[in-house]
Structure 1
């Protein structure tokens, strides 16, 4: 069976930002549901939009408040509205506790008052490296099943895939690490990149498109349709067209080298029988070896260890809480002096 359409870009931030503008242009508004544990680039982008919207509001109206969603509150946590102003709304679901995140996200997505049209959630969160979307396909199906009935499309057009809410699952910290599969007709945009676990170099990211979806971003990029160059670029006001594979790319493709390395790496893996599942199993053995040797106390100990998730869904980093950013930084510096490289994120 044919797989989903794949669009390429230089980084996931660029791809996700363009998807946001596509939904804004299509619906005339952007209503975002996300979590409070996303990577810094998404936090910054949504924060910039929120700050701009707040600048258009009176001070009393710009305060953060809780969206009282009974179904979400029944699960123990409320959804926090970061900003709600005219054509922009941004709500976030607390990622803690991770065990109930999927249920709480699905419950929030069902809000008839919010009517989210852009839902974004990482498969593995950056801060704690915990897998919060354990089954991508099932999660997508649950989210879409919970969404309220759609409103009529704008301008009387026939409803298509791009009139439905966009669900984006960011798999950057899971791609080629946590075994992942989902049906080719799954209703989601799956985002990933070739730098982290693929180790193929920077400036290459991808997003799979759900069946029939053809986003048309407001931030088009000069290479959205190379055929426009054949007519001298057209005239201002001409219809905007998009070519498959470059509608989200933005500028001149600079990901050729990373793609070549990726293709060579995948060919070598195939010849050697090195699957994602085999790599994951090897890392789990390394985890087990480390966990057996942990002391009961200290910066890296059973006491500070964030409880590991079950091996089938566990990401490839173990995390240890230090209580504060300062202590975490000091622990990282101490370990570095002993030749151990660690990454300090928050506490």
Structure 2
């Protein structure tokens, strides 16, 4: 499949001008924000000033429906109303955990490479015996989907939680439809963490939208920054989370007979409480811009693959210990499934990151894993300049 690098850098002029010496190859972490988000941030302020408390009518009447529509198109969801929003995905994790009956531990199946949001929370609950956790090793990556799917099929778990793309390696968890098809019981909740997959890889949930929760946000590949996270909530599943906020009171409520707390049937049942809506203004603006430019997740992934190939070819020619193809955790090539960043396993990870930071090239590391991300804010010239600096820094 041909790979094409874009040059959209003119749309990121404010971020680039604010730090002109920086080359952002940590674009799997904090992405540059496109210029349209500046006006969106101002619009949120202006609506607060002009409408005061009435701004929530616009947030829930215009901004959130627009965001839901964009997200539904990006993920091929049949109904935008299944999408709930929140300032972070940790809120959604807590809410999901609160859906299970009290009095017995929640049985969780997950991987050994989940992001800290899930890893830390599950480990803490495990300490108090509130959950039991089975962690499946992601390596070897080639057999992960088969091994994980077999454990889903065992029916021994209440909650399955797994990343679409593992943040420690860039490897994927495999075909999401196949994983969902392994579900043994309708009572088992399957949650896909799209943290490094959303808007980094094309994602089609149409066939599994009735069975799988999907959570992600705008902080990374959607380039909208903090405070703009979402959860797709399959109709009928987990209808009454105990962790609930007053925003879940909005809309038509369906309550059992008596005085019990009612919930909307759509994604609103997973809403929390008051939050800063400016992130949603930014997310709407980013999606409006991407739509006008004809840029999709598939386009972004193709762009990233092109820049990754360019970077790898140049670095491979330098024969630098720790930055060889053999040091890659996830193979790169036409048949490889991966996210939009490269992860090298090297004892020099911290040292190399420090040296690159000194010459204005932003990367990051986690233990012995050095990561380079390639987003829409970068072009081929950025990669070439980064390689030149890398050669100087590691000479």
Alignment TM class, shorter chain as reference? 0.7 to 0.9
Aligned ranges for residues 296-315 of structure 1 at < 5 Å?
296-311=319-334, 313-315=337-339
How far, CA to CA, are the matches of 2:83 and 2:151 in structure 1? Answer: 29
In the alignment, is the contact (CA less than 8 A) between 1:119 and 1:168 conserved in 2?
yes
User: Match of 2:274?
Assistant: 252
Deviation at 1:138, TM superposition (A): 2.7
Cα 1:310/1:169, change in 2 over 3 Å: farther
Deviation at 1:185, TM superposition (A): 4.5
User: Match of 1:78?
Assistant: none
Match of 2:176 among 136, 143, 154: 136
SS of residue matched to 2:98: helix
How far, CA to CA, are the matches of 2:131 and 2:325 in structure 1? Answer: 44
How far, CA to CA, are the matches of 1:248 and 1:274 in structure 2? Answer: 30
How far, CA to CA, are the matches of 2:178 and 2:286 in structure 1? Answer: 30
Aligned ranges for residues 327-346 of structure 1 at < 5 Å?
327-346=348-367
Cα 1:338/1:303, change in 2 over 3 Å: farther
SS of residue matched to 2:269: coil
Matched, 1:99 2:99: no
Match of 2:117 among 23, 41, 46: 41
Q: Mean Cα displacement is larger for which, 203-212 or 31-40?
A: 203-212
How far, CA to CA, are the matches of 1:293 and 1:24 in structure 2? Answer: 55
Matched, 1:21 2:98: yes
SS of residue matched to 1:7: strand
User: Match of 1:116?
Assistant: 157
How far, CA to CA, are the matches of 1:171 and 1:125 in structure 2? Answer: 9
How far, CA to CA, are the matches of 1:138 and 1:227 in structure 2? Answer: 35
How far, CA to CA, are the matches of 1:100 and 1:200 in structure 2? Answer: 34
Matched, 1:6 2:83: yes
Match of 1:199 among 216, 220, 223: 223
SS of residue matched to 2:344: coil
Cα 1:273/1:23, change in 2 over 3 Å: same
Deviations 1:66-124 (Å, cap 9, x if unpaired)?
xxxxxxxxxxxxxxxxxxxxx63211111111111111111112335xx2110011000
Give TM-score scaled by structure 1 length.
0.74
In the alignment, is the contact (CA less than 8 A) between 1:296 and 1:303 conserved in 2?
no
User: Match of 1:88?
Assistant: 131
SS of residue matched to 2:99: helix
In the alignment, is the contact (CA less than 8 A) between 2:227 and 2:278 conserved in 1?
no
User: Match of 2:247?
Assistant: 223
* Structure with greater helix share of residues: 2
User: Match of 1:166?
Assistant: 189
Match of 1:127 among 165, 168, 171: 168
Cα 1:51/1:36, change in 2 over 3 Å: same
Deviation at 1:169, TM superposition (A): 0.7
Cα 1:227/1:180, change in 2 over 3 Å: closer
How far, CA to CA, are the matches of 1:298 and 1:338 in structure 2? Answer: 19
Cα 1:193/1:212, change in 2 over 3 Å: same
Deviation at 1:218, TM superposition (A): 1.7
Deviations 1:154-197 (Å, cap 9, x if unpaired)?
xxxxxxxxx61100011111111111112255310011111111
Deviation at 1:9, TM superposition (A): 1.4
User: Match of 2:198?
Assistant: 175
Deviations 1:43-82 (Å, cap 9, x if unpaired)?
11111111112xxxxxxxxxxxxxxxxxxxxxxxxxxxxx
User: Match of 1:267?
Assistant: 288
How far, CA to CA, are the matches of 1:110 and 1:184 in structure 2? Answer: 19
Matched, 1:286 2:307: yes
Unaligned runs of 5+ in 1: 54-86, 151-162, 229-236
How far, CA to CA, are the matches of 2:137 and 2:330 in structure 1? Answer: 18
Aligned-residue CA RMSD (Å): 2.4
